[in-house]
Amino acid sequence: MTIRPATADDVPRVKALTDAAYHHHIERTGLVPAPMEADHAADVAAGKLYERYGYEVVKRHADGPYDRVHYRKPVS
C-alpha cells in the first residue's frame, strides 16, 4: 500500500470526493455539512490530507488516544 501526502493538485479531487460523500445530507437537513465547507487547500498545506493508490483520499486524525484514518472511494 502506498500513501503519500496530498498536494495542491489533489485539492479538486478532494473537494469532489467530499461533495459526493455528503451532498445528500443537504436535502435531508437543509444544511451544508461542515466537510463540504472545509478549506481543503489549508488541510493539504498543513499536512492533514494523504493520497492512497493515487485515487482514494484519506484524512488522518491523530488527536487524542486514537489515530483515525478516513478513506473515500474515488468519484467516477
- Long-range contacts made by residues 21-30, C-beta under 8 angstroms, separation at least 24? 21/72
Residue 52 covered by a domain: yes
What are the pLDDT digits (tens) for 2-33? 678 889 998 998 888 888 888 888 988 999 99
Listed residue (51, 52, 26) closest to 37, CA to CA? 26
- Terminal Cα-to-Cα distance of the chain (whole angstroms): 21
Residue 39 covered by a domain: yes
Residue 28 covered by a domain: yes
Residue 76 covered by a domain: no
Which structural domain range is residue 60 located in?
3-71
What are the pLDDT digits (tens) for 33-68? 998 999 999 999 998 887 765 445 556 655 655 555
Residue 51 covered by a domain: yes
- Long-range contacts made by residues 66-73, C-beta under 8 angstroms, separation at least 24? 72/17, 72/18, 72/21, 73/17
Q: Specify the number of domains making up the chain.
A: 1
Residue 42 covered by a domain: yes
Distance, CA of 54 to CA of 21 (rounded, Å): 18
